[in-house]
Amino acid sequence: MIPNAQKGWKSIFGSVAPLGWRLRLAVFVLLLAAVATVWVTNSLLTDRFTESTHNRAELRLALYSGNLLSELRRNAIVPQLLARDPTLISALQSGDFSLSTQRLLSFVEEIGAASLMLLDRDGRAVAATDRNRLGEGHRSAAYFVEAIRSNATIFSVIPREAGGYRFVYSRRLESGAEILGVIVVEVDLQKFESAWAGISDAVMVTDSTGTIILSTEPQWRGLNEQEALLRQHPQGAIERAIRATADWTALPPDAYLQGEAVMRMETRIPFRGWKMTSFTTYSSIREKVNSVLALEIMGFAILLALAFYALSRRATFRMALFQRESAELRALNARLQREIAERERVEKTLEVAEQTLAQSSKLAALGEMSAAVSHELNQPLAAMKTYLAGARLLLRRNRPEEALASFGRIDGLIERMGAITRQLKSYARKGADAFSPVNLGEALASSLSMMEPQLRQRHVKISQILPEDPVIVMGDRMRLEQVMVNLLRNALDATKSVAEPEVEIILAAGETAVLAVRDNGHGIENIENLFEPFYTTKRAGDGVGLGLAISSGIVNDHGGRLTARNGQNGGAVFEMQLPILGQDGLEAAE
């Protein structure tokens, strides 16, 4: 093998001299190709990235202005609608504003406005979504004075004391020729500033006088554009622009090719002469182009080095390659054998783990089912015990008819216990029970009747706010009553340590049916784990932590959701939201 290798080396070095001029020609051609490739790539990529950056800036500016205009137009309709609201007009006429604030709160989440406020004819805030503003005087405010004088919707831009501006729509409420008050709708435009600040552009919105009213840079608000650009700029796109030039407004948009790193774009917003201006940096274009050029130059350099290396070290490279491949194959063979042995061991361990996990799952399912049955049957059993005691007392007093009524209630509770066990059995095969129209008001009354023994033992103030019209949903009445009983029982348990316990029940109908149960207890400490199975804050023996988990599953099966939060004035608020059944759906169900 050694003599053959020596012959190979002689043949290689012997052919180097005749190939000298060919090698120099190949290197020269390679250098020409590299220069041409780099030149063409630089020109094409610079134009392409510049155009791409320009198009993205135009698209963002159009999107931002469209979103801003859409928000303004959407909120402009709100005062017209609220000015015709009969509840607000009646409150202004009668002077009774006890339900006006709640009325505005019911609107603010659907509308998406920052706040709503109702002013009487003297400019006093009689209802507001922000309760801290109740009683404030706005008689001299421009949005109140102009709304009283005009029969149209008034838009006002009001400077804030802490900086920035408030954007307000106002319109007067009237009955016949009598002016009753003014409805004020505040538009939340600051959310756009937060959204714009998450990008590399700097964005400002100016009114018809050139004053900056919205901006990603807080220092710009209240100034015109020239004054704003003279101030010290924060970190970001505008600081890089200041380093590049002191007068960017005099340069063309595609100024990057002339050494400028900022593009200024402006568009008109068809709303009271507003304009939107954005400043976009081009600093990333040269970085992108240079990275590609560096890769190309590196590639040509590697090709040139490989050409010289192939001519001088071909034989040695092949020999070393064969030796390295042989060593790698031996190492790979040993590694494969180790991996095969490890895989066989893991498969055996996995088989044992799967058997253990299957047994654990069976035990967990059995324990969860027994705990659920114990929890759900506890309430009917407690009620039956109370009714039996009452019936026994009535029989002793020779009042058999009333005792028979108690036995009838006991019979109903037995039927309910059977329904609960059927529901627990059907958890593994959801969808077996057919839904029917359910009047939530009647279901609530039935639930309160079932809670009557607990309510007699406790002196709890129960207040109900129910709509005049029936609230109909599609569902299983027995399961919905089960959810209501759980919510009422939790409210009663939460008020055990309160001196004057109160429970408020609110049933409302809008796009969805909402049942809210509020208490004046100590609130909820851990809301995140509240609906998890076996999580409870009660003492041992008072509960197993399955009531809310089961109730949440029932509401989800009905296409709704069960939520919990702490009230503003303390206590806990549980809300059950269900899809409401309209007149068409009710007729179809019948």
Contact, 462 vs 449, CB < 8 A? no
Domain harbouring 549, CATH code: 3.30.565.10
Cα 575 to its chain centre, rounded Å, is 19
Most confident of 36-50, 174-188, 343-357: 174-188
Q: How wide is the angle at C-alpha 428 spanned by C-alphas 427 and 433, nearest 5°?
A: 55
Residue 293 included in any domain: no
- What is the C-alpha to C-alpha distance for residues 79 and 467, in angstroms, rounded to an integer? 25
- Residue 95 backbone class (left: φ over 0; alpha: ψ -120 to 50; beta: rest): left
Of 254, 283, 312, the residue that ends a domain is 283
> What string of DSSP letters covers 29-62?
HHHHHHHHHHHHHHHHHHHHHHHHHHHHHHHHHH
User: How many Cα atoms sit within 13 Å of 462 on the Cβ side?
Assistant: 16
Which residue, among 168, 157, 90, has the nearest Cα to 133 in the 3D structure?
168
Give the model confidence (pLDDT) of 396-412 as tens digits: 888 888 878 778 778 77
pLDDT mean over 189-212: 83
Domain harbouring 62, CATH code: 3.30.450.20
pLDDT mean over 107-119: 85
Residues 310-313: contacts with CB under 8 Å, at least 24 apart: 311/12, 311/16, 311/19, 311/23
Domain count, the chain: 2
**Cβ neighbours for 510, distance < 8 A, ≥ 6 positions apart:** 106, 110, 580
C-alpha Rg value of the chain to the nearest Å: 39
pLDDT mean over 534-541: 58
Residue 461 included in any domain: yes
Instruction: For residue 506, name the pLDDT band (cuts at 50, 70, 90).
Output: very high
pLDDT of 537 strictly over 80:
no
- What is the C-alpha to C-alpha distance for residues 582 and 91, in angstroms, rounded to an integer? 29
pLDDT of 514 strictly over 90:
yes
Give the model confidence (pLDDT) of 278-335 as tens digits: 887 766 666 777 777 788 788 878 877 777 776 666 657 667 777 788 888 888 888 8
Can you give the pLDDT at residue 227? 83
Can you give the pLDDT at residue 355? 62
pLDDT of 521 strictly over 70:
yes
Residue 509 included in any domain: yes
pLDDT mean over 158-170: 87
Contact, 146 vs 154, CB < 8 A? yes
Most confident of 209-218, 304-313, 361-370, 426-435: 209-218
- Token pair belonging to 157: 């831009």
Mode of pairing for the β-strands spanning 202-206 and 165-175 = unpaired
Can you give the pLDDT at residue 314? 64
Residue 139 included in any domain: yes
Residue 426 included in any domain: no
Residue 17 included in any domain: no
- What is the C-alpha to C-alpha distance for residues 26 and 557, in angstroms, rounded to an integer? 76
Can you give the pLDDT at residue 234? 36
Helix axes 547-557, 283-396, angle to 10 degrees: 110
pLDDT of 149 strictly over 50:
yes
Side chain identity, residue 262:
V
Of 260, 283, 306, the residue that ends a domain is 283
Q: In which domain, by residue range, is 502 found?
A: 434-579
pLDDT of 230 strictly over 80:
no
- What is the C-alpha to C-alpha distance for residues 556 and 11, in angstroms, rounded to an integer? 83
- Token pair belonging to 118: 């109702």
Where are the extended beta strands (E) located within 320-469? 436-439, 461-465
Lowest mean pLDDT among 15-29, 195-209, 345-359, 478-492: 15-29
Please classify residue 172 by burial: count the beta carbons closer than 10 Å to its beta carbon, then call 0-12 exposed, 13-18 middle and 19+ buried. buried
Of 263, 283, 303, the residue that ends a domain is 283
Q: Which residues are 267's β-sheet partners?
A: 276
Side chain identity, residue 340:
I
Residue 371 included in any domain: no
Most confident of 8-12, 76-80, 371-375, 456-460: 76-80
Tell me the pLDDT of the chain averaged across its residues: 78
278/169: higher pLDDT: 169
Can you give the pLDDT at residue 425? 56
**SS3 for 283-326, per residue?**
HHHHHHHHHHHHHHHHHHHHHHHHHHHHHHHHHHHHHHHHHHHH
432/353: higher pLDDT: 353
pLDDT of 220 strictly over 90:
no
